[in-house]
Every structure is written in structure tokens, then in C-alpha cells.
Amino acid sequence: MTSGAFDGLLDRFLLAGAEFERHLRAVRPAQWTLPTPCTAWNVRQLANHMTRGNLNYLLLLNGGDRADFLRLREADALGPDPLAAYTASVRRLAEAFGQSGALCRILDYPLGPLAGRQALAVRITDSVIHTWDLATALGADETLHPGLVAWICDHLDAIYAGLPETPVAPDTTHRFFAAPEGEPPAGASRQTRLLHRMGRSPKPH
């Protein structure tokens, strides 16, 4: 396992959550139905995916199983106040992962049993990529936190190690991860290369 891949996970999760929250706070009423780079979701659906995802990881930490996770994947988690729902989900999941033994607990993750620390690393990565999706949908600054980008790029193999569906495996079926198209431009930044690997088509950055 790559040295340092799973150090400081709680701080990274909170930072990733704050970055998504920053863009979520800027959503105007007319923007909730805007399309996002995740073509199946508009802005509200993307925010729900993020919020529900946090709650589903919390469910796994509390003994839930993959069937529950998948059954609830699209259930509404936003209610009348999407921002409050999202920020509460981040806080609750951070508190749960901060409990003694949580990072070592084996979770019944949909792609196979996963230790808590690796599940949280996957969650952080998902949060960072979806922050770009939200910023792009809103026409906002698409620059991701460089420290989070560097951590993901340096540890991508460790983050997804052992999972049958990953953005780093050439034979992924792409049920859970978007397929990259073409090649990133020569001299592309780490952010651009990462986003391309995650199936996005960013402007050169």
C-alpha cells in the first residue's frame, strides 16, 4: 500500500466537503435545473448524489449493506434546504469516521468489502471530481484545490486498489465511472489529466 495514501483522511474529507459547499452556496434558484457534466443529473440531482452518498457511507459504517446502499442511491436527501442537508451530511460522516476503529472497520461496499480508510479515500476522490462538475455546471471557476488534486494523482492506484470497477483499470465496465475519451493535451496540468482519467473533458488548465 502506498506510503501516506491514507494519512490525514478526515482533514481531506472536510476540505473536499468545504470545496463542494462553496459552489453549492452560490447556486441561484434558477440554476438547480442546469445540466452538469454528469449527463444523467442536473445541479439539484448532483447535489443530491453528493448528500445521499455521504448518508449511504454513514449507513455502511452503522452496519448497513450494499443492497441498502444501492436501493437508496437516488432517494431524495435534500428536502427543502439542499445546502443545510449537504453540510449536515458532511458533518455527520466526518464525526462517524472520527470514531475509534471506524477507519479499520470493514464495510459492505457495493464494489466489494472495503476497509473504512479506503472507503473514505474513495469518497474524497468522488467529492473532488463532483466539485468540478458543479463548478462547470454553474459557469464558475473550475480550479480544484491543488493539494487534493495532488493527493489523488499521487495515490490513485492505492485509493482504488482491489476494486473490480475503478477509473484506473482498462477493463472497467464504466457502470460506476465515466469512460475517458481521447487523450489529454500535451503538457496538460495534473487537474486536467486527472479529470480526463475520470471521464471528463475539461478545458486546458
* Dist. CA 90–CA 18, nearest whole Å: 9
Q: Which pLDDT score, from 0 to 100, does residue 96 have? A: 98
pLDDT of residue 178: 63
Distance CA 177, CA 187 (A): 25
pLDDT over 90, % of the chain: 77
The whole-number pLDDT of residue 201 equals: 82
- Lowest mean pLDDT across 25-34, 139-148, 166-175: 166-175
pLDDT of residue 2 exceeding 60, the answer is: no
Confidence of residue 205 (pLDDT cuts 50, 70, 90): very low
Distance of CA 111 to the CA centre of its chain: 15
User: Which DSSP state fits 180?
Assistant: P
In this predicted structure, the answer to whether residue 180 has a pLDDT above a threshold of 70 is no
Tell whether the model's pLDDT for residue 128 goes beyond 80.
yes
Rounded Cα distance between 193 and 205, Å, is 9
For the stretch 147-178, pLDDT in tens is 999 999 999 999 999 988 767 666 665 555 66
Mean pLDDT score, 110-116: 94
pLDDT tens readout for residues 91-109? 999 999 999 999 999 999 9
What does the alpha-carbon distance between residue 107 and residue 46 come to, in Å, rounded to a whole number?
24
Higher pLDDT, 170 or 9: 9
Q: What is the pLDDT of residue 202?
A: 81
Asked whether residue 1 carries a pLDDT value surpassing 50, the answer given is no
pTM: 0.92
Can you give the pLDDT at residue 168?
Answer: 64
Q: What is the helix (H) or strand (E) element at residue 114, kind and residue range?
A: strand 114-115
